[in-house]
């Protein structure tokens, strides 16, 4: 049987706040493999491959303590 993780476990393991992971879920930039409908809600279960995708997304788009990475630097005139 494959090990799965909760959203809070993934957020803690990756090193982000769980609300940040929820924002990424709502915007569709990351998705777990398993969605379990439960009492009108969705319970997300994350696999090891999903965890790696979140780590990769964070490395490319997020800076610790400063939020998401900015695009090109703007010049001040």
Question: pLDDT of 54-70, one tens digit each?
Answer: 999 998 887 766 656 66
36-58: pLDDT as tens digits: 999 999 899 999 999 999 999 99
Residue 55 in domain: yes
Residue 24 in domain: yes
Residue 76 in domain: no
pTM (2 decimals)?
0.75
Residue 30 in domain: yes
Identify the domain containing residue 19 by its residue range. 7-66
Residue 2 in domain: no
Provide CB contacts within 8 A for 13, sequence distance 6+: 5, 51
How far is residue 41's CA from residue 10's CA, in Å, rounded to a whole number?
19
Task: Say what the pLDDT of residue 44 is.
Answer: 92
CA atoms within 13 Å, Cβ hemisphere of 38 = 7
| Number of separate domains in the chain | 1
């Amino acid at each position: 049987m494959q090990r799965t993780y909760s959203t809070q476990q993934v957020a803690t393991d990756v090193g982000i706040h769980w609300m940040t992971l929820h924002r990424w879920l709502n915007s569709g930039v990351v998705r777990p493999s398993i969605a379990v409908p439960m009492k009108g809600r969705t319970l997300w279960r994350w696999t090891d491959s999903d965890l790696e995708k979140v780590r990769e997304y964070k490395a490319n788009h997020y800076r610790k303590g400063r939020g998401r990475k900015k695009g090109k630097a703007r010049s001040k005139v």
